[in-house]
Structure 1
Protein backbone atom coordinates (compact mmCIF):
# COMPACT_ATOMS: atom_id res chain seq x y z
CA UNK A 1 0.00 0.00 0.00
CA UNK A 2 1.39 3.44 -1.01
CA UNK A 3 2.27 5.80 1.81
CA UNK A 4 1.86 9.58 1.78
CA UNK A 5 5.19 11.43 1.42
CA UNK A 6 3.91 14.64 3.04
CA UNK A 7 5.69 14.03 6.40
CA UNK A 8 9.04 13.81 4.57
CA UNK A 9 8.74 15.94 1.40
CA UNK A 10 5.74 18.12 2.16
CA UNK A 11 2.94 19.12 -0.22
CA UNK A 12 3.76 22.80 -0.51
CA UNK A 13 3.11 22.80 -4.26
CA UNK A 14 0.81 21.16 -6.78
CA UNK A 15 3.79 19.31 -8.26
CA UNK A 16 4.70 17.82 -4.87
CA UNK A 17 1.16 16.60 -4.28
CA UNK A 18 1.00 15.14 -7.78
CA UNK A 19 4.28 13.27 -7.17
CA UNK A 20 2.98 11.62 -3.99
CA UNK A 21 1.90 8.01 -4.79
CA UNK A 22 -0.88 8.17 -2.21
CA UNK A 23 -2.30 11.61 -3.10
CA UNK A 24 -1.74 11.99 -6.83
CA UNK A 25 -5.09 10.44 -7.81
CA UNK A 26 -7.08 12.63 -5.43
CA UNK A 27 -5.26 15.77 -6.60
CA UNK A 28 -5.73 14.87 -10.26
CA UNK A 29 -9.47 14.36 -9.72
CA UNK A 30 -9.83 17.75 -8.04
CA UNK A 31 -7.86 19.45 -10.81
CA UNK A 32 -9.95 17.92 -13.58
CA UNK A 33 -13.17 18.79 -11.77
CA UNK A 34 -12.11 22.40 -11.31
CA UNK A 35 -11.01 22.72 -14.93
CA UNK A 36 -14.31 21.38 -16.24
CA UNK A 37 -16.38 23.57 -13.95
CA UNK A 38 -14.46 26.73 -14.89
CA UNK A 39 -14.69 26.18 -18.63
CA UNK A 40 -18.38 25.38 -18.44
CA UNK A 41 -19.32 28.57 -16.60
CA UNK A 42 -17.40 30.99 -18.81
CA UNK A 43 -18.31 32.51 -22.16
CA UNK A 44 -21.78 33.17 -23.50
CA UNK A 45 -25.21 31.67 -22.90
CA UNK A 46 -28.79 31.97 -24.10
CA UNK A 47 -31.66 31.55 -21.69
CA UNK A 48 -35.34 31.00 -22.41
CA UNK A 49 -37.53 32.03 -25.34
CA UNK A 50 -36.49 35.66 -25.06
CA UNK A 51 -32.89 34.57 -25.71
CA UNK A 52 -31.07 36.53 -23.03
CA UNK A 53 -27.54 36.81 -24.35
CA UNK A 54 -24.70 37.24 -21.84
CA UNK A 55 -21.22 38.09 -23.05
CA UNK A 56 -18.40 38.27 -20.49
CA UNK A 57 -15.85 39.32 -23.11
CA UNK A 58 -17.19 42.86 -23.54
CA UNK A 59 -15.03 45.88 -22.80
CA UNK A 60 -14.29 46.29 -19.13
CA UNK A 61 -14.74 42.58 -18.41
CA UNK A 62 -17.83 43.14 -16.28
CA UNK A 63 -20.17 41.51 -18.78
CA UNK A 64 -23.62 42.59 -19.94
CA UNK A 65 -26.90 41.06 -21.02
CA UNK A 66 -29.48 41.88 -23.64
CA UNK A 67 -32.79 40.18 -24.38
CA UNK A 68 -33.33 39.78 -28.09
CA UNK A 69 -36.44 38.84 -30.01
CA UNK A 70 -37.57 38.20 -33.57
CA UNK A 71 -40.54 40.35 -34.69
CA UNK A 72 -43.34 38.73 -36.65
CA UNK A 73 -42.60 40.94 -39.69
CA UNK A 74 -38.95 39.84 -39.91
CA UNK A 75 -37.93 38.43 -43.27
CA UNK A 76 -37.07 34.76 -43.53
CA UNK A 77 -33.36 34.40 -42.93
CA UNK A 78 -32.98 37.98 -41.68
CA UNK A 79 -29.79 38.57 -39.69
CA UNK A 80 -31.11 41.71 -37.98
CA UNK A 81 -31.18 41.54 -34.18
CA UNK A 82 -33.91 43.36 -32.23
CA UNK A 83 -34.16 43.89 -28.50
CA UNK A 84 -37.44 42.95 -26.85
CA UNK A 85 -38.02 46.66 -26.14
CA UNK A 86 -37.61 47.49 -29.83
CA UNK A 87 -40.11 44.81 -30.84
CA UNK A 88 -42.60 46.06 -28.24
CA UNK A 89 -42.33 49.68 -29.42
CA UNK A 90 -42.37 48.88 -33.16
CA UNK A 91 -45.28 46.41 -33.12
CA UNK A 92 -48.04 49.10 -32.87
CA UNK A 93 -46.31 51.02 -35.67
CA UNK A 94 -46.29 47.89 -37.81
CA UNK A 95 -50.05 47.53 -37.29
CA UNK A 96 -50.56 51.10 -38.56
CA UNK A 97 -48.37 50.36 -41.59
CA UNK A 98 -50.41 47.27 -42.45
CA UNK A 99 -53.66 49.22 -42.15
CA UNK A 100 -52.39 52.14 -44.22
CA UNK A 101 -51.00 49.80 -46.87
CA UNK A 102 -54.39 48.15 -47.36
CA UNK A 103 -56.37 51.40 -47.33
CA UNK A 104 -53.93 53.71 -49.13
CA UNK A 105 -51.39 51.60 -51.04
CA UNK A 106 -49.86 54.60 -52.84
CA UNK A 107 -48.56 56.23 -49.66
CA UNK A 108 -44.83 56.65 -49.23
CA UNK A 109 -43.31 54.43 -46.57
CA UNK A 110 -41.92 57.10 -44.24
CA UNK A 111 -41.68 60.82 -43.68
CA UNK A 112 -38.30 61.87 -42.29
CA UNK A 113 -38.60 64.61 -39.67
CA UNK A 114 -35.30 66.28 -38.85
CA UNK A 115 -33.74 69.56 -37.77
CA UNK A 116 -32.85 71.94 -40.58
CA UNK A 117 -29.18 71.89 -39.53
CA UNK A 118 -29.04 68.11 -40.12
CA UNK A 119 -30.40 68.22 -43.67
CA UNK A 120 -27.00 67.83 -45.38
CA UNK A 121 -25.36 65.49 -42.88
CA UNK A 122 -27.00 62.89 -40.61
CA UNK A 123 -30.49 63.33 -42.10
CA UNK A 124 -29.08 62.97 -45.63
CA UNK A 125 -27.10 59.90 -44.57
CA UNK A 126 -30.18 58.25 -43.09
CA UNK A 127 -32.22 59.15 -46.16
CA UNK A 128 -29.63 57.57 -48.46
CA UNK A 129 -29.44 54.39 -46.38
CA UNK A 130 -33.25 54.12 -46.37
CA UNK A 131 -33.50 54.53 -50.14
CA UNK A 132 -30.69 52.02 -50.67
CA UNK A 133 -32.76 49.56 -48.61
CA UNK A 134 -35.80 50.16 -50.82
CA UNK A 135 -37.75 52.54 -48.56
CA UNK A 136 -39.81 55.32 -50.16
CA UNK A 137 -38.96 58.47 -48.20
CA UNK A 138 -40.49 61.95 -48.06
CA UNK A 139 -37.45 64.19 -47.52
CA UNK A 140 -37.40 67.98 -47.41
CA UNK A 141 -34.23 68.34 -49.47
CA UNK A 142 -35.84 66.80 -52.54
CA UNK A 143 -39.57 67.20 -51.88
CA UNK A 144 -39.81 70.89 -51.04
CA UNK A 145 -40.33 72.69 -54.35
CA UNK A 146 -39.23 76.26 -54.94
CA UNK A 147 -41.91 78.73 -53.88
CA UNK A 148 -43.96 76.14 -51.97
CA UNK A 149 -44.54 77.19 -48.35
CA UNK A 150 -42.67 74.82 -46.06
CA UNK A 151 -45.64 74.15 -43.75
CA UNK A 152 -47.85 73.25 -46.69
CA UNK A 153 -45.25 70.88 -48.10
CA UNK A 154 -44.72 69.24 -44.71
CA UNK A 155 -48.46 68.77 -44.20
CA UNK A 156 -48.61 67.11 -47.61
CA UNK A 157 -45.68 64.87 -46.75
CA UNK A 158 -47.30 63.73 -43.51
CA UNK A 159 -50.61 63.08 -45.23
CA UNK A 160 -48.93 60.94 -47.87
CA UNK A 161 -46.71 58.77 -45.67
CA UNK A 162 -47.53 55.69 -43.63
CA UNK A 163 -45.35 56.57 -40.64
CA UNK A 164 -42.87 59.20 -39.52
CA UNK A 165 -39.27 58.98 -38.41
CA UNK A 166 -37.97 61.62 -36.02
CA UNK A 167 -34.19 61.96 -36.15
CA UNK A 168 -33.38 63.12 -32.62
CA UNK A 169 -30.03 64.93 -32.65
CA UNK A 170 -28.49 67.77 -30.62
CA UNK A 171 -29.69 70.13 -33.37
CA UNK A 172 -33.29 68.89 -33.03
CA UNK A 173 -33.15 69.21 -29.25
CA UNK A 174 -32.08 72.83 -29.56
CA UNK A 175 -34.89 73.53 -32.02
CA UNK A 176 -37.81 71.88 -30.21
CA UNK A 177 -38.19 74.57 -27.52
CA UNK A 178 -38.48 77.21 -30.23
CA UNK A 179 -41.72 75.62 -31.52
CA UNK A 180 -40.52 75.55 -35.09
CA UNK A 181 -41.44 73.23 -37.93
CA UNK A 182 -40.13 70.17 -36.13
CA UNK A 183 -42.50 70.75 -33.21
CA UNK A 184 -45.53 70.85 -35.54
CA UNK A 185 -44.44 67.62 -37.21
CA UNK A 186 -44.05 65.90 -33.85
CA UNK A 187 -47.46 66.95 -32.57
CA UNK A 188 -49.09 65.44 -35.66
CA UNK A 189 -47.13 62.21 -35.49
CA UNK A 190 -47.76 61.78 -31.77
CA UNK A 191 -51.51 61.73 -32.37
CA UNK A 192 -51.27 58.04 -33.39
CA UNK A 193 -48.83 55.16 -33.49
CA UNK A 194 -47.06 56.67 -36.48
CA UNK A 195 -43.88 57.74 -34.77
CA UNK A 196 -40.43 56.15 -34.54
CA UNK A 197 -37.81 58.23 -32.72
CA UNK A 198 -34.24 57.59 -33.88
CA UNK A 199 -31.79 58.89 -31.28
CA UNK A 200 -28.48 59.88 -32.88
CA UNK A 201 -25.45 61.45 -31.16
CA UNK A 202 -27.51 62.17 -28.04
CA UNK A 203 -29.48 60.27 -25.38
CA UNK A 204 -33.06 59.64 -24.29
CA UNK A 205 -32.18 61.40 -21.04
CA UNK A 206 -31.31 64.57 -22.95
CA UNK A 207 -34.51 64.22 -24.98
CA UNK A 208 -36.56 63.79 -21.80
CA UNK A 209 -35.31 67.14 -20.53
CA UNK A 210 -36.64 68.84 -23.67
CA UNK A 211 -39.67 66.77 -24.68
CA UNK A 212 -40.92 64.25 -22.08
CA UNK A 213 -43.77 63.21 -24.37
CA UNK A 214 -41.47 62.34 -27.26
CA UNK A 215 -39.02 60.62 -24.91
CA UNK A 216 -41.85 58.38 -23.70
CA UNK A 217 -41.95 56.79 -27.15
CA UNK A 218 -39.28 54.12 -27.48
CA UNK A 219 -37.61 53.75 -30.84
CA UNK A 220 -34.17 53.04 -32.26
CA UNK A 221 -30.81 54.28 -31.06
CA UNK A 222 -27.55 54.64 -32.99
CA UNK A 223 -25.58 53.95 -29.83
CA UNK A 224 -26.87 50.37 -30.28
CA UNK A 225 -26.88 50.15 -34.10
CA UNK A 226 -25.30 52.10 -36.93
CA UNK A 227 -27.47 54.39 -39.06
CA UNK A 228 -27.26 51.79 -41.82
CA UNK A 229 -28.58 49.02 -39.56
CA UNK A 230 -31.33 51.35 -38.33
CA UNK A 231 -32.31 51.94 -41.96
CA UNK A 232 -32.40 48.19 -42.59
CA UNK A 233 -34.69 47.70 -39.58
CA UNK A 234 -37.01 50.41 -40.90
CA UNK A 235 -36.99 48.78 -44.34
CA UNK A 236 -37.96 45.44 -42.79
CA UNK A 237 -40.68 47.14 -40.73
CA UNK A 238 -42.37 48.88 -43.68
CA UNK A 239 -42.11 45.99 -46.15
CA UNK A 240 -45.53 44.50 -46.92
Structure 2
Protein backbone atom coordinates (compact mmCIF):
# COMPACT_ATOMS: atom_id res chain seq x y z
CA UNK A 1 0.00 0.00 0.00
CA UNK A 2 1.37 3.45 -0.92
CA UNK A 3 1.96 6.21 1.60
CA UNK A 4 -0.81 8.31 0.02
CA UNK A 5 -3.33 5.46 0.38
CA UNK A 6 -2.24 4.89 3.98
CA UNK A 7 -2.67 8.56 4.80
CA UNK A 8 -6.10 8.64 3.15
CA UNK A 9 -7.24 5.63 5.17
CA UNK A 10 -5.84 6.83 8.50
CA UNK A 11 -6.49 10.59 8.39
CA UNK A 12 -9.48 12.21 10.07
CA UNK A 13 -9.71 9.49 12.73
CA UNK A 14 -11.48 11.88 15.11
CA UNK A 15 -14.50 12.15 12.81
CA UNK A 16 -17.49 9.91 12.23
CA UNK A 17 -16.86 8.73 8.67
CA UNK A 18 -18.97 7.19 5.93
CA UNK A 19 -17.32 5.41 3.00
CA UNK A 20 -19.00 5.60 -0.38
CA UNK A 21 -18.21 5.25 -4.07
CA UNK A 22 -18.90 7.69 -6.89
CA UNK A 23 -19.05 6.60 -10.52
CA UNK A 24 -17.04 8.88 -12.81
CA UNK A 25 -16.77 8.65 -16.59
CA UNK A 26 -14.22 10.10 -18.97
CA UNK A 27 -12.73 9.58 -22.41
CA UNK A 28 -10.47 6.79 -21.14
CA UNK A 29 -12.20 5.56 -17.97
CA UNK A 30 -15.45 4.52 -16.38
CA UNK A 31 -14.64 4.00 -12.72
CA UNK A 32 -16.02 3.95 -9.20
CA UNK A 33 -13.75 6.06 -7.02
CA UNK A 34 -13.69 5.74 -3.21
CA UNK A 35 -14.42 8.77 -1.10
CA UNK A 36 -15.24 9.50 2.50
CA UNK A 37 -17.71 11.85 4.12
CA UNK A 38 -16.40 13.09 7.47
CA UNK A 39 -18.70 14.46 10.17
CA UNK A 40 -16.96 16.62 12.76
CA UNK A 41 -19.20 16.21 15.82
CA UNK A 42 -17.51 19.04 17.71
CA UNK A 43 -17.68 21.64 14.94
CA UNK A 44 -21.03 20.42 13.61
CA UNK A 45 -19.92 20.36 9.96
CA UNK A 46 -19.22 17.84 7.22
CA UNK A 47 -16.32 17.64 4.76
CA UNK A 48 -15.07 15.18 2.14
CA UNK A 49 -11.91 13.25 1.25
CA UNK A 50 -11.26 11.42 -2.02
CA UNK A 51 -8.55 8.96 -3.10
CA UNK A 52 -7.37 9.08 -6.73
CA UNK A 53 -5.05 6.55 -8.35
CA UNK A 54 -2.27 7.55 -10.75
CA UNK A 55 -4.41 6.71 -13.80
CA UNK A 56 -6.48 9.82 -13.07
CA UNK A 57 -3.48 12.17 -13.28
CA UNK A 58 -4.64 13.73 -16.56
CA UNK A 59 -8.26 14.08 -15.48
CA UNK A 60 -8.04 16.02 -12.22
CA UNK A 61 -10.09 18.97 -13.50
CA UNK A 62 -12.92 16.76 -14.73
CA UNK A 63 -12.94 14.68 -11.55
CA UNK A 64 -13.06 17.72 -9.28
CA UNK A 65 -15.88 19.17 -11.39
CA UNK A 66 -17.78 15.84 -11.20
CA UNK A 67 -17.36 15.70 -7.43
CA UNK A 68 -18.60 19.27 -7.09
CA UNK A 69 -21.68 18.53 -9.20
CA UNK A 70 -22.45 15.52 -7.00
CA UNK A 71 -22.00 17.23 -3.63
CA UNK A 72 -25.67 16.77 -2.75
CA UNK A 73 -25.45 13.01 -3.36
CA UNK A 74 -22.10 12.73 -1.61
CA UNK A 75 -23.24 14.68 1.44
CA UNK A 76 -26.21 12.45 2.25
CA UNK A 77 -25.43 9.64 4.72
CA UNK A 78 -28.55 7.62 3.95
CA UNK A 79 -28.37 6.30 0.36
CA UNK A 80 -27.89 2.60 -0.29
CA UNK A 81 -24.52 3.60 -1.83
CA UNK A 82 -22.95 3.75 1.64
CA UNK A 83 -20.21 1.12 1.78
CA UNK A 84 -19.30 1.28 5.48
CA UNK A 85 -19.48 3.46 8.58
CA UNK A 86 -16.31 4.21 10.58
CA UNK A 87 -16.84 5.43 14.12
CA UNK A 88 -14.42 7.83 15.81
CA UNK A 89 -11.72 6.28 17.99
CA UNK A 90 -12.87 5.73 21.57
CA UNK A 91 -10.37 8.33 22.79
CA UNK A 92 -11.65 11.02 20.42
CA UNK A 93 -15.43 10.64 20.65
CA UNK A 94 -16.77 13.76 22.42
CA UNK A 95 -17.77 13.04 26.00
CA UNK A 96 -21.41 12.12 26.44
CA UNK A 97 -22.08 11.29 22.79
CA UNK A 98 -23.95 8.21 21.63
CA UNK A 99 -24.39 7.02 18.05
CA UNK A 100 -27.17 4.92 16.56
CA UNK A 101 -26.64 3.33 13.14
CA UNK A 102 -29.82 1.97 11.53
CA UNK A 103 -29.32 -0.15 8.42
CA UNK A 104 -32.43 -1.50 6.74
CA UNK A 105 -33.10 -0.43 3.17
CA UNK A 106 -30.89 2.60 3.79
CA UNK A 107 -28.43 3.84 6.38
CA UNK A 108 -29.63 6.35 8.94
CA UNK A 109 -27.25 7.72 11.57
CA UNK A 110 -28.39 9.60 14.66
CA UNK A 111 -25.93 11.26 17.05
CA UNK A 112 -27.15 11.64 20.63
CA UNK A 113 -25.13 14.31 22.48
CA UNK A 114 -25.60 14.38 26.24
CA UNK A 115 -25.93 18.17 26.29
CA UNK A 116 -28.36 18.72 23.42
CA UNK A 117 -30.94 17.39 20.95
CA UNK A 118 -30.35 14.39 18.71
CA UNK A 119 -28.54 15.20 15.46
CA UNK A 120 -29.34 13.55 12.14
CA UNK A 121 -26.11 13.67 10.14
CA UNK A 122 -27.99 14.58 6.98
CA UNK A 123 -28.66 18.01 8.53
CA UNK A 124 -25.00 18.94 9.11
CA UNK A 125 -23.82 21.64 6.65
CA UNK A 126 -21.01 21.05 4.15
CA UNK A 127 -17.95 23.08 5.16
CA UNK A 128 -16.81 23.41 1.56
CA UNK A 129 -13.55 21.55 2.17
CA UNK A 130 -12.56 18.61 -0.08
CA UNK A 131 -9.27 16.78 0.52
CA UNK A 132 -7.90 15.10 -2.62
CA UNK A 133 -5.40 12.31 -1.86
CA UNK A 134 -3.67 11.69 -5.18
CA UNK A 135 -1.01 9.21 -6.34
CA UNK A 136 0.47 12.07 -8.36
CA UNK A 137 1.33 15.73 -7.90
CA UNK A 138 -1.05 18.07 -9.66
CA UNK A 139 -2.82 21.40 -9.62
CA UNK A 140 -6.33 22.47 -10.56
CA UNK A 141 -6.73 24.81 -13.53
CA UNK A 142 -7.74 28.45 -12.86
CA UNK A 143 -11.01 27.97 -14.77
CA UNK A 144 -12.10 25.07 -12.57
CA UNK A 145 -10.92 26.88 -9.44
CA UNK A 146 -13.16 29.79 -10.42
CA UNK A 147 -16.13 27.43 -10.69
CA UNK A 148 -15.31 25.88 -7.33
CA UNK A 149 -15.01 29.29 -5.72
CA UNK A 150 -18.51 30.22 -6.88
CA UNK A 151 -19.78 26.94 -5.40
CA UNK A 152 -17.88 27.71 -2.14
CA UNK A 153 -15.85 24.51 -2.58
CA UNK A 154 -12.27 24.68 -1.29
CA UNK A 155 -10.09 21.75 -2.45
CA UNK A 156 -6.86 20.73 -0.73
CA UNK A 157 -4.53 18.41 -2.68
CA UNK A 158 -2.37 15.89 -0.82
CA UNK A 159 -0.18 14.14 -3.38
CA UNK A 160 3.17 12.36 -3.59
CA UNK A 161 5.24 15.34 -2.43
CA UNK A 162 2.94 15.86 0.55
CA UNK A 163 3.20 12.17 1.49
CA UNK A 164 7.00 12.23 1.32
CA UNK A 165 7.27 15.35 3.50
CA UNK A 166 4.82 13.93 5.99
CA UNK A 167 6.63 10.59 6.14
CA UNK A 168 9.91 12.40 6.82
CA UNK A 169 8.37 14.31 9.71
CA UNK A 170 6.87 11.15 11.17
CA UNK A 171 10.06 9.06 11.28
CA UNK A 172 10.44 7.80 14.88
CA UNK A 173 12.97 9.84 16.82
CA UNK A 174 13.26 7.56 19.85
CA UNK A 175 12.82 3.90 20.73
CA UNK A 176 10.87 3.14 23.91
CA UNK A 177 12.36 0.12 25.69
CA UNK A 178 10.15 -1.20 28.48
CA UNK A 179 8.89 -4.29 30.24
CA UNK A 180 5.51 -5.44 28.93
CA UNK A 181 4.07 -5.32 32.46
CA UNK A 182 4.61 -1.54 32.50
CA UNK A 183 2.60 -0.76 29.36
CA UNK A 184 -0.54 0.53 31.02
CA UNK A 185 1.10 2.46 33.84
CA UNK A 186 3.85 4.32 32.01
CA UNK A 187 4.93 3.00 28.59
CA UNK A 188 1.73 3.61 26.61
CA UNK A 189 0.91 6.96 28.30
CA UNK A 190 4.44 8.20 27.58
CA UNK A 191 4.30 7.07 23.95
CA UNK A 192 0.96 8.87 23.51
CA UNK A 193 2.22 12.02 25.23
CA UNK A 194 5.31 12.19 23.01
CA UNK A 195 3.27 11.63 19.85
CA UNK A 196 0.84 14.37 20.90
CA UNK A 197 3.58 17.00 21.23
CA UNK A 198 5.13 16.14 17.88
CA UNK A 199 7.76 13.57 18.83
CA UNK A 200 7.04 10.31 16.97
CA UNK A 201 8.45 7.25 18.72
CA UNK A 202 9.02 3.57 18.06
CA UNK A 203 6.66 1.78 20.43
CA UNK A 204 5.78 -1.86 19.82
CA UNK A 205 1.99 -1.49 20.03
CA UNK A 206 2.05 1.21 17.33
CA UNK A 207 5.09 0.22 15.27
CA UNK A 208 4.53 -3.49 14.72
CA UNK A 209 1.95 -5.31 12.63
CA UNK A 210 0.60 -8.85 12.85
CA UNK A 211 3.13 -11.23 11.31
CA UNK A 212 6.15 -8.93 11.78
CA UNK A 213 9.37 -10.50 13.01
CA UNK A 214 9.85 -9.35 16.60
CA UNK A 215 13.62 -9.46 16.36
CA UNK A 216 13.83 -7.73 12.97
CA UNK A 217 11.38 -5.00 13.98
CA UNK A 218 13.11 -4.24 17.28
CA UNK A 219 16.57 -4.23 15.73
CA UNK A 220 15.36 -1.93 12.95
CA UNK A 221 13.80 0.43 15.50
CA UNK A 222 16.95 0.51 17.61
CA UNK A 223 19.14 1.22 14.58
CA UNK A 224 17.01 3.91 12.94
CA UNK A 225 15.98 6.05 15.92
CA UNK A 226 18.17 8.77 17.40
CA UNK A 227 17.65 7.75 21.03
CA UNK A 228 16.62 4.84 23.22
CA UNK A 229 14.30 5.73 26.10
CA UNK A 230 14.76 3.15 28.87
CA UNK A 231 11.83 2.82 31.27
CA UNK A 232 13.70 1.48 34.29
CA UNK A 233 11.22 -0.16 36.65
CA UNK A 234 11.40 -3.11 39.04
CA UNK A 235 9.86 -5.19 36.25
CA UNK A 236 12.51 -4.06 33.76
CA UNK A 237 15.43 -4.65 36.13
CA UNK A 238 14.24 -8.07 37.26
CA UNK A 239 13.71 -9.53 33.83
CA UNK A 240 16.10 -10.60 31.11
CA UNK A 241 14.63 -11.25 27.68
CA UNK A 242 13.97 -8.41 25.26
CA UNK A 243 14.41 -5.46 27.67
CA UNK A 244 17.95 -6.67 28.48
CA UNK A 245 18.74 -7.27 24.81
CA UNK A 246 17.46 -3.81 23.90
CA UNK A 247 19.64 -2.22 26.58
CA UNK A 248 22.68 -4.20 25.44
CA UNK A 249 22.06 -3.19 21.81
CA UNK A 250 21.66 0.49 22.72
CA UNK A 251 24.82 0.42 24.85
CA UNK A 252 26.78 -1.23 22.02
CA UNK A 253 25.57 1.47 19.64
CA UNK A 254 26.74 4.15 22.09
CA UNK A 255 30.23 2.68 21.97
CA UNK A 256 30.25 2.47 18.16
CA UNK A 257 28.89 5.99 17.62
CA UNK A 258 30.76 7.48 20.60
CA UNK A 259 27.76 9.41 21.91
CA UNK A 260 25.10 9.11 24.60
CA UNK A 261 21.82 7.90 23.15
CA UNK A 262 20.26 6.19 26.19
CA UNK A 263 17.70 8.37 28.00
CA UNK A 264 16.72 6.67 31.30
CA UNK A 265 13.39 7.14 33.07
CA UNK A 266 13.44 5.92 36.68
CA UNK A 267 10.09 4.46 37.73
CA UNK A 268 9.87 3.24 41.34
CA UNK A 269 13.56 2.25 41.45
CA UNK A 270 16.52 3.44 43.53
CA UNK A 271 20.10 4.22 42.61
CA UNK A 272 21.11 0.97 44.27
CA UNK A 273 18.62 -0.98 42.12
CA UNK A 274 19.98 0.54 38.93
CA UNK A 275 23.60 0.08 40.03
CA UNK A 276 22.96 -3.58 40.68
CA UNK A 277 21.59 -3.90 37.15
CA UNK A 278 24.31 -1.82 35.46
CA UNK A 279 26.93 0.37 37.21
CA UNK A 280 27.42 2.38 34.01
CA UNK A 281 23.68 3.06 33.71
CA UNK A 282 23.52 4.24 37.34
CA UNK A 283 25.91 7.06 36.41
CA UNK A 284 23.60 8.36 33.67
CA UNK A 285 21.35 11.30 34.57
CA UNK A 286 17.73 10.34 34.06
CA UNK A 287 14.21 11.58 34.72
CA UNK A 288 12.02 10.39 37.58
CA UNK A 289 8.48 9.24 36.80
CA UNK A 290 7.32 11.34 39.76
CA UNK A 291 7.56 14.36 37.44
CA UNK A 292 4.43 13.17 35.65
CA UNK A 293 4.02 11.90 32.11
CA UNK A 294 3.50 15.30 30.45
CA UNK A 295 6.58 16.86 32.06
CA UNK A 296 8.72 13.83 31.20
CA UNK A 297 7.56 14.02 27.58
CA UNK A 298 8.34 17.75 27.45
CA UNK A 299 11.86 17.27 28.81
CA UNK A 300 12.54 14.36 26.46
CA UNK A 301 11.40 16.42 23.47
CA UNK A 302 13.69 19.30 24.49
CA UNK A 303 16.65 16.92 24.68
CA UNK A 304 15.87 15.23 21.37
CA UNK A 305 15.32 18.50 19.49
CA UNK A 306 18.37 20.11 21.08
CA UNK A 307 20.65 17.45 19.61
CA UNK A 308 18.83 17.09 16.28
Name the TM-score, length of structure 1 as normaliser: 0.51
Distance of 1:204 and 1:196 partners within structure 2? 15
Distance of 1:201 and 1:132 partners within structure 2? 25
Distance of 2:248 and 2:171 partners within structure 1? 20
The answer for the alignment partner of 2:270 in structure 1 is: 203
SS of aligned partner of 2:211: coil
The answer for the alignment partner of 1:108 in structure 2 is: 172
1:15-30 alignment runs, 5 A limit: none
Q: Is the contact between residue 204 and residue 215 of structure 1 (CA under 8 Å) also seen in structure 2?
A: yes
Structure of greater relative contact order (alpha carbons < 8 Å, 6+ residues apart): 1
The answer for the alignment partner of 1:181 in structure 2 is: 242
The answer for the alignment partner of 1:190 in structure 2 is: 251
1:64-94 deviation per Cα after TM superposition (whole angstroms, max 9, x unaligned): xxxxxxxxxxxxxxxxxxxxxxxxxxxxxxx
1:71-150 alignment runs, 5 A limit: 107-150=171-214
Distance of 2:194 and 2:238 partners within structure 1? 25
Q: Is the contact between residue 168 and residue 199 of structure 1 (CA under 8 Å) also seen in structure 2?
A: yes
Q: Is the contact between residue 170 and residue 200 of structure 2 (CA under 8 Å) also seen in structure 1?
A: no
Q: CA RMSD in A?
A: 1.9
Name the TM-score, length of structure 2 as normaliser: 0.41
Q: Does 1:228 align with 2:294?
A: yes
Q: Is the contact between residue 199 and residue 221 of structure 1 (CA under 8 Å) also seen in structure 2?
A: yes
SS of aligned partner of 2:198: coil
Q: Is the contact between residue 109 and residue 163 of structure 1 (CA under 8 Å) also seen in structure 2?
A: yes
Residue 229 and residue 184 in structure 1: after superposition, are their counterparts in 2 closer, same or farther (change >3 A)? same
Q: Is the contact between residue 208 and residue 215 of structure 1 (CA under 8 Å) also seen in structure 2?
A: yes
1:42-81 deviation per Cα after TM superposition (whole angstroms, max 9, x unaligned): xxxxxxxxxxxxxxxxxxxxxxxxxxxxxxxxxxxxxxxx
Residue 233 and residue 186 in structure 1: after superposition, are their counterparts in 2 closer, same or farther (change >3 A)? same
Bigger fraction of residues in helix: 1
SS of aligned partner of 1:134: coil
User: Which structure has the larger Rg over C-alpha atoms?
Assistant: 1
1:1-12 alignment runs, 5 A limit: none
Residue 154 and residue 130 in structure 1: after superposition, are their counterparts in 2 closer, same or farther (change >3 A)? same
Alpha-carbon shift at residue 194 of structure 1 (Å): 0.9
The answer for the alignment partner of 1:217 in structure 2 is: 284
Distance of 1:140 and 1:108 partners within structure 2? 12
Alpha-carbon shift at residue 121 of structure 1 (Å): 2.7
Q: Does 1:171 align with 2:238?
A: no
Alpha-carbon shift at residue 169 of structure 1 (Å): 1.0
User: Which structure 1 residue ranges, 5 or more long, are not aligned?
Assistant: 1-103
Distance of 2:236 and 2:210 partners within structure 1? 24
Distance of 2:271 and 2:214 partners within structure 1? 28
Bigger fraction of residues in strand: 2
Residue 125 and residue 207 in structure 1: after superposition, are their counterparts in 2 closer, same or farther (change >3 A)? same
